[in-house]
Structure 1
């Protein structure tokens, strides 16, 4: 699954979910009055880079979850993205929101937020974190087709380990499977880029105990579900070597904007 291949916007695509509900504690004081996905990176809001890439790839629907200052995000992007950019090979990108802050008073963490938004997404969908800068990544429809033809529950894009995560997160086998390596295993690990293709099935039994649609606002992390599915041989992965930054601190943001 080649993230650097040219997009195929006329091929079938699936919806996407962009994670934008976090408080951004490490980015304070910048995030005291601005949600982290709206911080400016090279002249435009961080989240807009993903929205542009999704539209260029032919994705027609995106769900954005919000909590901290979420009303600013929906006010910024409204319900349709980039009408002025529409051409013969770009489709309209409709935006809907899952307002966790308004519904439950706080963010539901990654798996809890995804489970809450599932009724708006369907059986297969893209996932990306709204605080990651990856301008070279292509949401390629060929990757969607390969994933749909597999029995995998997730396909992850891994990146070489940045300075703030030298230990890495997951292993990668020669056959392209993500590995949940034991702590004492010295095999190479890579960092999860936060970009993935997922099946809704991952958020149901036996992998996940959250009721459909997460009506109770249960908070849950994604990593334990991924590790469980890796142990069952149901998670594939690719190594992405394009530009990638987890914009987690004011220093990293300043470096991007130099």
Structure 2
């Protein structure tokens, strides 16, 4: 199975830290955020990794090259300046990803064990996403658990999921966020969910990054 790490975003809220650096290259616990994902994927037996690039993408490519230093094989999906948003980035990279794959946001820090996702049995056109308890910056959440009614408690999308490639069949290439697609497919019962209670941090602002590093010392 392959995995994709989303790393093309500009990281505007992280300025000035992202003035000349892509957000997934910001350091947490002595390593770039994205390196933690690569190490965790390798530990789960996933060695074929795709990374999408836009803002300052050469810095990611220069640092990781083909991934051999980490025992993985990395391929890159280059996007236009400004990027294609989450779903747009995935759709553009589909030729590199195969029939089923894992996707992880490059700007989160988590101890979630992605090997659990490799054990899922998804049908054609389906996806499975990981939700987490709502952090202070997203108190209302994003999605309800898929086996509950739509007016139930909503939780925050972690940026981690597994997808069948044909989940995206109805959508053309271009700039496209993932959230509305997930919302639509949830109503069609094509998305399953789980709630993860372990460590998860969205490194969305310099203050959150600083607080996270303080906890990791």
TM class by shorter-chain length?
Answer: over 0.9
**One of 219, 228, 238 as aligned partner of 2:194:** 238
Residue in structure 1 matched with residue 126 of structure 2 by the alignment: 153
Deviation at 1:81, TM superposition (A): 4.4
Question: Which blocks of at least 5 consecutive residues in structure 2 are unaligned?
Answer: none
Matches within 5 A, 1:65-76: 65-76=52-63
Aligned length: 214
Matches within 5 A, 1:68-217: 68-83=55-70, 92-100=71-79, 104-134=80-110, 136-140=111-115, 142-148=116-122, 150-151=123-124, 153-173=126-146, 177=147, 181=150, 185=151, 187-205=152-170, 208=171, 210=172, 214=173
**Closer, same or farther: CA 34–178 of 1 in aligned 2, 3 Å:** farther
Q: Are residues 1:227 and 2:183 paired?
A: yes
| 3-state DSSP of counterpart to 1:126 | strand
Residue in structure 1 matched with residue 207 of structure 2 by the alignment: 251
8 Å contact kept, 1:170–1:178: no
Distance in 1 (alpha carbons) for counterparts of 2:16 and 2:40: 29
Distance in 2 (alpha carbons) for counterparts of 1:27 and 1:147: 37
8 Å contact kept, 2:24–2:33: yes
**Closer, same or farther: CA 256–119 of 1 in aligned 2, 3 Å:** same
Distance in 2 (alpha carbons) for counterparts of 1:197 and 1:147: 10
8 Å contact kept, 1:178–1:237: no
- Compare CA radii of gyration and give the structure with the larger one: 1
Deviation at 1:151, TM superposition (A): 5.0
- Structure number with the higher strand fraction is 2
Aligned structure 1 segments of 4 or more residues deviating by more than 3 angstroms: none
Report the TM-score when normalising by structure 1: 0.79
Report the TM-score when normalising by structure 2: 0.94
| 3-state DSSP of counterpart to 1:146 | coil
**Closer, same or farther: CA 115–249 of 1 in aligned 2, 3 Å:** same
Task: State the superposition RMSD in angstroms.
Answer: 1.5
8 Å contact kept, 1:81–1:94: yes
Deviation at 1:58, TM superposition (A): 0.5
Deviation at 1:257, TM superposition (A): 1.1
